[in-house]
Homo-oligomer: A and B are copies of this chain.
Amino acid sequence: MGDAPNNGKIDFEGCYQLLAGAVVGRLALIVDGHPEIFPVNFVLERRSIAFRTAFGTKLWESMKEVPAAFEIDGYDPATEEAWSVTARGGTSLIEDPDERSAVDALGLEPWQPGEKSHYVRLSPRVLTGRRFKVKAPDVWTTRLNDERRKSFE
């Protein structure tokens, strides 16, 4: 991630606002020594990122805290700005039924259908965000947005 001084840093509150407004993020974990990444639908609950997953069962069952990174991003054609927010920290199972209910009450909708047996929480220890003008906005507004909207196939 570039650290050029002209990149607009998003402050802590701004990062949380963006997390509160997003639905899908990508979680990175280390599995058998190799990085893995997968999309998860999440909710922001009490300043932590909560999601359900059937993936990583062994990981979360074998470790109290699993190191992870989490990312959301977006692009605003009106201002021609792209942005991203990245959280790093430990993930752990949510085992308390009341805590699970609190997550459910926020309308968590799993990204994929099927059994999502585990509730997992990531409590960010590092939270950073950046926004910046895109150099070639026409590339973005056409290619990226087409991709987001076009019929699959």
- Whether, in the assembled complex, A6 has its beta carbon less than 8 Å from a beta carbon of chain B, the answer is yes
- Whether, in the assembled complex, A131 has its beta carbon less than 8 Å from a beta carbon of chain B, the answer is yes
**Consensus secondary structure, chain A interface:** mixed
A35: contacting residue among B30, B83, B109, CB under 8 A: B30
Are B36 and A77 within 8 A (Cβ)?
no
Are A132 and B113 within 8 A (Cβ)?
yes
The 8 closest A-B pairs by CB, nearest first: A4-B114, A28-B28, A2-B114, A28-B35, A28-B37, A37-B69, A37-B71, A2-B54
List the interface of chain A (C-beta within 8 A of B): 1-4, 6-7, 14, 17, 21-24, 26-30, 33-39, 53-55, 67-71, 73-79, 81-84, 86, 88, 107, 109-116, 130-136, 139-140, 143-153
